[in-house]
């Protein structure tokens, strides 16, 4: 049996589940995480106990019945509260410490609430929060003040430990029907009117509440190494919860004012934020401008402070590896010059000796013009320019210094070889795909030390946006564009793929996200852009990078390998220009 490999937090969550289940030969369908990304010990144990005491396959069918529903996350939270009570009562006799663990989880719930910011609270589902608060208040012996429907819901979620698996499933379905107006046995309706759906998503979508943790399906979080950072789709933007003015202000505070006017950005968004990106927004900037106002959100000030601290770490890394960086830069620049020389074309010119041109031979006798021959002329340089696109999502958290060094070596090598180069970094946050212009064609590489990671990465939209910028800036095709993406080939965004058939589309992750990135690369190549990737990631994503970029990628494991690997990539990318 081929085992999945998991990131550090996901591995811990899986182990909690296995230990509770008393079984180690299955892949858990759900994992539980706090908003911080830390695994929820108690609820991961509950997931394991569901496998131990109940028919997991039948339980899974209930969760699958509403997957894609706009309230799916809320349904998850409700039903896991019901299952928690059931398996707690079943396990208590065998494991008396369950009572203490449950109390600790209740206390943790209220501690987390006290630390939450106003912005995080805005994402809360008050209906779910009410049931969570009631459950954990009851566990701690605090008074619970509920009435009407809320009280009936709380009572319905006390699944008894005496219930059989089939009776639990009936309880789950009954709860969904009575309190959520959802019948799991009813056929799913196919929604149409894609243009209307797109308009609603783009302009009128409202954020609905999310909960303080989410049970994540394990297919969403496979990851190969302990150092990988894999984000779970917790209380973030969801399809239909389009960014608001507050989100735009937040993004501007984090990444600086827009590089383009509002009118230009509207045109860009109308062209690119369509189809399954209909609920998304774009933000293009040069980074934060000056000091952050004291009136800015605390989250903005924290992010700016963290980015400044990371810049110091990057600069220290660059100084500490200065010799290796210089050697790699020199070696790669020389290799690029050789490659360009081999691809340079000699334009033919008329001459009095050389290869006879039959179509001009008449000029010799009629016009006494001896220039009816052809010979090679002076070499003409290829009009090539390069763009480096850096994945700056949170999955690069443990690679920030090395990526800053990679970008510095690549950019300086191109410049030394006489190739104009710019550097862009992309990430998505609060529904915005934010692209930071870290280096323009005419600038030096000083600002590249400011690279830092944070947020998600919607690779398809980022690639299409860069392609659009290339076309706008090169309308007459004077330049041949080379795009090199520094990536771990793991696209993952909190905003799902929009769907005309379902209000809640598929999550932007896994196979669906890789396919979207693959299609974006294909579109770029069809438009004439040369696209390649420097893959700095784990073996588990090699299949992804191969699918997205084909043969035009190289895997780099260290800074010392960069010159050789990047040289081979550039050779593959531009060899068709010869």
Which phi-psi region, left, alpha or beta, contains residue 454 (left: φ > 0; alpha: ψ -120 to 50)? left
Phi, psi at 266, each rounded to 5°: -60, -45
Q: Evaluate whether 488 touches 391 at the Cβ level (below 8 Å).
A: yes
Pull the structure tokens for residue 172: 């789950």
Q: What DSSP character marks residue 539?
A: G
Query: Higher pLDDT residue, 31 or 222?
Result: 31
Phi, psi at 226, each rounded to 5°: -60, -30
Architecture of domain 250-332+382-577: 3-Layer(aba) Sandwich (3.40)
| Site of tokens 């006494």 | 368
Taking only the tens place, the pLDDT of each residue in 445-483 is 999 999 999 889 999 999 999 999 999 888 778 889 999
Pairing of β 530-535 and β 553-555:
parallel
Separation of alpha carbons 259 and 424, rounded Å: 13
| Site of tokens 């811990």 | 12
Taking only the tens place, the pLDDT of each residue in 120-157 is 555 567 888 899 999 999 999 999 999 999 999 999 99
Which phi-psi region, left, alpha or beta, contains residue 228 (left: φ > 0; alpha: ψ -120 to 50)? beta
**Where do the domains of the chain lie?**
8-220, 250-332+382-577, 346-380
What residues have CB less than 8 Å from 42, skipping those under 6 apart? Answer: 101, 102, 104, 105, 108
- For the cut 80, the answer to whether the pLDDT of residue 575 exceeds it is no
Q: Evaluate whether 566 touches 410 at the Cβ level (below 8 Å).
A: yes
Q: Evaluate whether 259 touches 246 at the Cβ level (below 8 Å).
A: no
pTM over 0.75: no
- The fraction of the chain above a pLDDT of 90, given in percent, is 51
- For the cut 50, the answer to whether the pLDDT of residue 203 exceeds it is no
Q: Evaluate whether 562 touches 550 at the Cβ level (below 8 Å).
A: no
- From 72, 2, 90, select the one nearest 30 (Cα to Cα): 72
């Amino acid at each position: 049996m081929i085992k999945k490999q998991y990131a550090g937090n996901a591995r811990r969550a899986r182990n909690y589940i296995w230990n509770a289940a008393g079984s180690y030969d299955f892949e858990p369908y759900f994992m539980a995480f706090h908003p911080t990304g830390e695994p929820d010990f108690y609820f991961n144990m509950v997931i394991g106990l569901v496998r131990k005491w109940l028919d997991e396959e039948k339980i899974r069918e209930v969760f699958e019945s509403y997957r894609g529903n706009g309230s799916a996350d809320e349904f998850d939270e409700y039903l896991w509260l019901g299952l928690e009570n059931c398996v707690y009562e079943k396990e208590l006799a065998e494991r008396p410490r369950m009572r203490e663990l449950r109390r600790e989880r209740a206390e943790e719930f209220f501690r987390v609430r006290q630390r939450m910011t106003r912005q995080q609270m805005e994402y809360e589902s008050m209906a779910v929060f009410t049931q969570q608060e009631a459950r954990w208040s009851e566990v701690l012996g605090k008074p619970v003040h509920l009435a009407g429907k809320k009280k009936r819901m709380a009572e319905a979620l006390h699944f008894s430990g005496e219930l059989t698996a089939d009776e639990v499933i009936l309880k789950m379905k009954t709860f969904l029907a009575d309190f959520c107006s959802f019948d799991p046995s009813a056929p799913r309706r196919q929604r149409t009117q894609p243009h209307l759906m797109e308009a609603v998503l783009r302009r009128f979508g409202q954020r609905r509440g999310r909960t303080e943790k989410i049970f994540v399906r394990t297919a969403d979080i496979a990851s190969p190494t302990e150092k990988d950072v894999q984000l779970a789709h917790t209380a973030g933007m969801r399809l239909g919860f389009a960014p608001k003015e507050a989100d735009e202000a937040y993004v501007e505070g984090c990444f600086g004012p827009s590089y383009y006017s509002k009118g230009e950005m509207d045109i860009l968004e109308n062209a690119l934020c369509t189809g399954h990106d209909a609920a998304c927004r774009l933000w293009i900037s040069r980074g934060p401008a000056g000091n952050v106002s004291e009136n800015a959100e605390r989250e903005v000030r924290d992010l700016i402070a963290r980015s400044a601290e990371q810049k110091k770490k990057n600069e220290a890394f660059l100084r500490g590896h200065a010799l290796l960086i210089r050697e790699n830069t020199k070696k790669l620049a020389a290799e690029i010059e050789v490659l360009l020389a081999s691809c340079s074309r000699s334009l033919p010119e008329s001459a009095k000796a050389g290869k006879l041109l039959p179509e001009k031979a008449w000029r010799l006798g009629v016009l006494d013009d001896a220039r009816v021959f052809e010979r090679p002329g002076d070499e003409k340089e290829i009009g090539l320019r390069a763009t480096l696109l850096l994945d700056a999502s949170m999955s690069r958290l443990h690679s920030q210094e090395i990526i800053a060094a990679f970008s510095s070596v690549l950019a300086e090598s191109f410049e030394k070889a006489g190739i104009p180069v710019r550097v862009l970094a992309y990430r998505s946050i609060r529904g915005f795909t934010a692209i930071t212009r870290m280096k323009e064609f005419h600038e030096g590489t000083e600002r590249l030390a400011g690279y830092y990671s944070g947020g998600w990465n919607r690779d398809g939209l980022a690639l299409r946006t860069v392609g659009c910028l290339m076309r706008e800036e090169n309308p007459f095709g004077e330049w041949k564009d080379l795009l090199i993406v520094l990536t771990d080939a793991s696209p993952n965004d909190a905003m799902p793929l929009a769907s005309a058939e379902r209000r809640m589309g598929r999550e932007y992750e896994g196979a669906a996200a890789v396919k979207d990135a693959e299609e974006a690369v294909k579109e770029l190549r069809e438009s004439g852009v040369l696209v390649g990737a420097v893959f700095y990631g784990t073996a588990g994503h090699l299949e992804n990078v191969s699918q997205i970029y084909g043969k035009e990628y190289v895997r780099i494991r260290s800074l010392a390998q960069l010159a050789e690997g990047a040289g081979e990539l550039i050779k593959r990318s531009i060899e068709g220009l010869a």
